[in-house]
Structure 1
Amino acid sequence: MKLRDYQQQARESIHAEWDKGIRRTLLVLPTGCGKTIVFSKVIEDRVVLGERVLVLAHRGELLDQASDKLEKSTGLKTAREKADQTSVGSWFRVVVGSVQTLMRDKRLRQFAADHFDTIIIDEAHHCISDGYQRVLQYFEGANVLGVTATPDRGDMRNLGSYFESLAFEYSLPKAIKSGYLSPIKAMTIPLQINLSAVGQQAGDFKASELGTALDPYLDSIAAEMWKVAKDRKIVVFLPLVKTSQKFTSILNAIGFKAAEVNGDSQDRSQILADFDSDKYNVLCNSMLLTEGWDCPSVDCVVVLRPTKVRSLYSQMVGRGTRLFPGKTELLLLDFLWHTDKHELCHPAHLIAENEEVAQAMTKQIEEAGIPLDLEDVEKQAAEDVVAQREEALAKMLNEMKRRKAKLVDPLQFEMSIQAEDLASYVPAFGWEMGPPSDKQIQTLEKLGILPDQVDNAGKATKLLERLDKRREEGLTTPKQIRFLEGRGFEHVGTWQFETAKKMIDRVAANGWKVPDGIDPKEYHGE
């Protein structure tokens, strides 16, 4: 099968990393962009070289999917390492293995440490766990490819503790622009849902407390869904099985054809097949379908499991981003989640380059009251943020200009009062070398000195001492120096305070011009 351009580029980039001696590398592709196809082709390349390959995953569905796609795209068959299935004695060059099985010491030691030349980790954000690390350390001489959907910064930090490089990354906006994924429209349902009492665990909201917090809102959420999405094919993600089951009953009571699946569902395969064939139009689950399940006809995703983890949010939304005949976009429903201090993921976080743009996008979507195309919103928000930054910068520069116009540069002050000791000052002690204190900066500015150029506490102390002394001796202030030297007078710092005051009064009385008959360059304050 012919790969898309970015898939071929990813394939080549992975081999290039290994050829450079970088053994552990990452591939990042959004859900629906064919990561299994890419690593299947990489496996084919390695088998041609005579290598043995292990595909590691933590769920049976992922192993089945990898095995199926590998055979369809390359013709390669696989052996299994899962529960009572073993690859020992098999002549197949590719093994798909469950990490829960292979992490057992007895199972691992059936293989020589150099048995596998290459290891592929599907959903690589899980690979930092002890089970994965036990397997990876045992086969530590192998090349490793980790494959994951768009991770957030926390995921990348964690993955960076094991992987040595990022071989290739393809972004969600690029995939949508190129027509490989469905456009996304986001809509905020005007329903306030209070999460302020929900605690945190392992960097995210506690699922048990989320269920309790959501419970009072389930009827209202169902009613809002009926208004905007009753004709759509919907997947709903919820925090708990019992919440998922309760919500399914509520949806059915108001007219939806809803079903629920969980890890203990005996008829899970049948329910998924029935949903696929449109017997149901809503499928509720408690985080079961975030990985290893595809239904391209889904055109609405409702995330009722708020999260701070972008990779988890991306996986949930990814269940609806695949293309399907007649599907024009994915509708992503968001809510007015109220939290005291937790920053949670919104639709904007799927494509925004930074938090500032994400916040501007979220505000636009919340205020619109209708579905908005994420890319259009991102473009407008990015332009607004740039305009706001430019406006803030211009305001800051004007403020600095206005402020500087009222203040004397320290060097001008030193030259004006002919203070060589200040001009040549170099800090000698530790405390002198530190930055000026906030109090020193505020006092210098209050007395008319521009503090921006005073870069150490010692210099600030010397300047403040000199200003005190000059006040006691009745000499000119920095503000008088700035005013008069700005009109051409020289060395005003050597004048008396009263002399400078009289000249300023004469200039003011003359319409803020130097009086006739006075040459500022020749005037010495007599």
Structure 2
Amino acid sequence: MNNNYFIESIPNIESNDNLREPQLDAYKAVYDHFTIQGNKEHAIIVLPTGVGKTGVMGLIPFGNALGRVLIITPQLVIKDAVLDSLDPEHPKNFWILRNIFNKFNDLPAVIEYSSETPKWALDEANIVILNIHKLQERLEKALSKKVPPDYFDMIIIDEAHHSTAPTWEKALSYFSSAKVVKLTGTPFRSDGENIEGKYVFKYPLSKAMAKGYIKSLERVKYVPDKLYLTLDRNDNILYSIDQIREMGLKDEDWISRSIAYSKDCSLKVVSESVEILKEKRKTGVPHKIIAVACSIYHAEQLVSLYEDFGMDVALVHSKLQPTQLGAALSAIENHKVEVVIHVAKLGEGYDHKYLSVAAIFRPFRQRLPYEQFVGRVLRAIDPEEVVNNEDNIASVVHHHELNLDDLWEFYKKEQEKSEVIKFNERESSSLLDGNVTDRIINKQTGHVQEDGDGAFITDNFINTQLLEERERRIAEEREKLQKLKEVLPNYPEDVLLQMVRREEEGTPSEKILRPDKFIYRKKRNLDDRIKDEMVPELIIKYNIRKEDKDLNKSRLFKKYPWIPDSDKHNAAMMAMYLEQRVNESVGNSKRETWGQQEYEAAMRYVEDIYKVMDQILESELGGNLNDRDS
């Protein structure tokens, strides 16, 4: 391993148009802090969800690290996301995708640490990525028991509001000579404890919205006309909420908890969130609802409610077996579901850009978990996928009596203030940071009964250009509708509105004329692309003898030793590699169960996998092309 890699390599950073403004400015801030000023204090970076935090982690070491870099994440979901982005062999590798480097051989060596990782593999790595649990002192194979304290020159901590916990502090104490960079999207703790370090860079959420890096946000709140509750579920006496408050019969926690568990109240939010989703999905973009429940039992009730509306639902919680969790996550990624319901599982670090409606079915008492949940719908959909501005406006839907107004207003005002702060200003007051500690919740609730007609009130998070464009479009639609009414006065309004929208939508989507042969053709196209095009192209390009078996030592098969062990020839091994990687990417190896969406996803994945395969073969065979016999 070249200890000077991050100093001697020449990445394309400073003038790279493929990098986002906050990524480049965050990198410059860290460079100024450590390399120009020689500051030893921990550097803290605040970036909103969806702006490109993992990319920043991939940039920071260059010019700053004089040796190995350790990246620490708080949980497995985040670790896997970081590893995917920085893995040199991943189709969506950040450094190649963003033109930091053009050649495979220029990339840093990256490994994921596990208890089975040998010392020689650590010694060869430029970047080591692990979950914080692999640093626990009580574990016999903890990383700190395998390497000396000066093994890493730089440590990068993701979701740094966790970093004041004992395990994190002990790890930083052991590697005390390393430069430390801490990244977070929520720079505060519910317990008021501060992060150690200096805030070197903060990017406002409002600016991220204005630049289109993340979605704009609106809240849709259901306000009932009249609401009555019993003091317990077996009581027949009904009290209005005002009576309960005025008489001091129950506190606000009890009221909001009763609302959360009320089927009637949940139905209102379910119905509205489904209507919002259906409107969004008219563009053809696979938008989804993400819902948060109080408990697994509560989540299972919500699954039934959404299924009653014809929705396909994925339920994710901490009690699922790894295979069950993997199947649920695969269904989400491959658009097999329209609704995702989670219980304390898909919080920070889980990113799926098609989550566009956040349905809240539980009370939030603290800002941190509230922001982390809302953050799940903020990741922007790529410009090439956006059909209209609605695609990048996310909606937060909840019942008024969940008592979330203070959290919403605080969130809103903080970001509105940040919009007018100049980008290069640094906040003089220290921000708060931290973990959310679980607390025991009294599950007692009363029965809820609603009377009269309620109403949904929409509140824009911030008046961004997208929301202004939506108002313009709605006004234009109303004008066209009015003109049609004048010409066709006897037609129902809903029919006329459909005529207006059909005109706006343009050409209809492609119709499958032979559904009986559709899947067969998709499968044939994938097989033909791999076996009849990709493998022959690589064999010819690198002068590989298709009938030989000398590729069995290639790093292609490091993760798949069973492929060379199968005693197949070079062409077969290459095809098996592509097939295996495609199956993994789709998340389902049983192709007989694949449908249209799986095959379309596979055709996208295989092109990226082919590029990685090409780069690996070039690094192994490229320099010897002229020496190989034809």
Match of 2:620 in 1: none
Which residue of the partner structure matches residue 43 of structure 2? 25
Code of the aligned partner of 1:82: S
2:397 equivalent in structure 1:
333
How far apart are the structure 2 equivalents of 1:212 and 1:147?
37
Match of 1:299, SS? strand
Residues 211, 138 of structure 1: alpha-carbon distance in 2 compared, 3 angstrom cutoff:
farther
Q: 2:407 aligns with which of 328, 345, 362?
A: 345
* Unmatched 5+ stretches in structure 2: 1-15, 88-92, 96-106, 230-240, 281-287, 419-453, 466-630
Distance change (3 Å), C-alpha of 1:65 and 1:228: closer
Give the aligned partner of residue 159 of structure 1. Answer: 194
Q: CA deviation at 1:231?
A: 4.3
* Preserved contact between residue 52 and residue 94 of structure 1 (Cα < 8 Å): yes
Deviations 1:178-221 (A, max 9, x none): 12111112211224798999999xxxx89xx9876621233343
Task: Tell me if structure 1 keeps the 8 A contact 2:159–2:182.
Answer: yes
> Does the C-alpha gap of structure 1 residues 9 and 190 become closer, same or farther in structure 2, counting only changes over 3 Å?
same
Instruction: Confirm whether residue 185 of structure 1 aligns to residue 221 of structure 2.
Output: no
Q: Is the radius of gyration larger for structure 1 or structure 2? A: 1
1:215 is matched by which residue type in structure 2? Y
Which residue does the alignment assign to 2:477? none
Q: CA deviation at 1:5?
A: 1.9
Q: Is the 8 A contact 2:73 2:130 kept in 1?
A: yes
Kept in 1: contact 2:204–2:415 (CA 8 A): no
Counterpart-to-counterpart distance in 2, 1:87 and 1:79 = 12
Identify if the C-alpha distance between structure 1 residues 284 and 16 changes in structure 2 by more than 3 Å, giving closer, same or farther. same
Indicate if the aligned counterparts of 1:10 and 1:168 stay in contact, CA closer than 8 A. Answer: yes
TM-score, normalization by structure 1: 0.61
Cα gap change, 1:294 to 1:356, in 2 (>3 Å): closer
SS in structure 2 of the partner of residue 176 of structure 1? helix
Query: Deviation at 1:61?
Result: 2.0
Q: Kindly indicate whether the alpha-carbon contact (under 8 Å) linking 1:211 and 1:240 is maintained by their aligned counterparts in 2.
A: no
> Is the contact between residue 149 and residue 311 of structure 1 (CA under 8 Å) also seen in structure 2?
no
Which amino acid counterpart does residue 262 of structure 1 have in structure 2?
H
Residue 409 of structure 1 is matched in structure 2 by none
Query: Could you tell me how far apart the structure 2 residues matched to 1:116 and 1:144 are?
Result: 10
* 1:76 maps to 2:76: no
Alpha-carbon distance, 1:55 to partner: 0.6
Residues 473-512 of structure 1 correspond to what in structure 2 (within 5 A)?
none
- Alignment counterpart, residue 174 of structure 2, candidates 126, 138, 142: 138
SS at match of 2:152: coil
Are residues 37 and 103 of structure 1, via their aligned partners in 2, closer, same or farther at CA, if it must alter by over 3 Å?
Answer: same
Once residues 216 and 82 of structure 2 are traced to their aligned partners in structure 1, the CA distance between those partners, rounded to angstroms, is: 27
| Inter-CA distance 350–257: structure 2 relative to 1 (3 Å threshold) | same
Q: Tell me, in whole angstroms, the C-alpha distance in 2 between the residues paired with 1:180 and 1:119.
A: 27
1:111 pairs with 2:173: no
Alpha carbons of structure 1 residues 70 and 44: separation in structure 2 relative to 1, 3 Å: farther
- What number of residue pairs does the alignment pair up? 356
Distance in 2 (CA, whole Å) between partners of 1:121 and 1:297 is 27
What do you get for the CA RMSD once the two structures are aligned? Answer: 3.5
The answer as to whether partners of 1:210 and 1:239 remain within 8 angstroms in 2 is no
Q: What residue is the counterpart of 1:147 in the other structure?
A: 183
Tell me the alpha carbon deviations over residues 450-495 of structure 1, each in whole angstroms, 9 at most, x when there is no partner: xxxxxxxxxxxxxxxxxxxxxxxxxxxxxxxxxxxxxxxxxxxxxx
SS at match of 1:256: coil
Deviation at 1:316, TM superposition (A): 1.2
Bigger RCO of structures 1 and 2 (CA < 8 A, at least 6 apart): 2
Change (3 A) 1:328 1:213: closer
Q: Distance in 1 between matches of 2:354 and 2:41?
A: 38
Tell me, yes or no, if structure 1 residue 258 matches structure 2 residue 258: no
Structure 1 residues 262 and 154: CA distance shift in structure 2, 3 A = closer
In the alignment, does 2:26 pair up with 1:10?
yes
Rate the CA distance shift 1:368–1:8 in 2: closer, same or farther, 3 A: farther
1-structure distance, mates of 2:380, 2:416:
28
Which residue pairs with 2:300 in the alignment? Answer: 245
String of CA shifts for 1:360-400, please: whole Å, max 9, x gaps: xxxxxxx994434321399xxxxxxxxxxxxxxxxxxxxxx
Change (3 A) 1:316 1:77: farther
- Out of 337, 351, 375, the position equivalent to 2:462 is 375
Indicate how the Cα distance of structure 1 residues 120 and 212 shifts in structure 2: closer, same or farther if over 3 A, else same: farther
Q: Which amino acid aligns with 1:234?
A: I
When residues 245 and 6 of structure 1 are mapped into structure 2, their CA distance, relative to the original with a 3 A threshold, is: same
Give 2:55's match in structure 1, choosing from 37, 44, 54.
37
What residue is the counterpart of 2:261 in the other structure?
215
Indicate conservation of the 8 Å contact 1:185/1:329, yes or no.
yes
- The correspondence of residues 117-516 of structure 1 with structure 2, limited to 5 A, is 117-152=153-188, 154=190, 157-160=192-195, 162-163=196-197, 165-191=198-224, 214-216=260-262, 217-232=265-280, 233-265=288-320, 266-324=323-381, 325-326=385-386, 327-337=391-401, 344-346=406-408, 348-353=409-414, 369-376=456-463
TM-score normalised over the length of structure 2: 0.51
Q: Which runs of 5+ in 1 are unaligned?
A: 358-366, 379-526
Cα 1:351–1:87 change in 2 (3 A) is farther
Q: 1:227 to 1:323 in 2, by over 3 A?
A: closer
1:154 Cα offset (Å): 4.7
Distance 1:210 1:336, change over 3 A: closer
Preserved contact between residue 306 and residue 345 of structure 1 (Cα < 8 Å): no
Q: For residue 51 of structure 1, what is the aligned residue in structure 2?
A: 67
Which amino acid counterpart does residue 99 of structure 1 have in structure 2?
I
Q: Distance in 2 between matches of 1:153 and 1:98?
A: 21
Following the alignment from structure 1 to structure 2, what is the Cα–Cα distance between the partners of residues 13 and 150?
19
Which amino acid letter does the alignment assign opposite residue 132 of structure 2?
A: V
Q: Distance in 2 between matches of 1:3 and 1:338?
A: 40
Q: CA deviation at 1:248?
A: 0.8
How far, CA to CA, are the matches of 1:65 and 1:83 in structure 2? Answer: 20
% same residue: 22
Q: Offset at 1:119?
A: 0.6
Contact 1:62 1:292 in 2 (8 A): yes
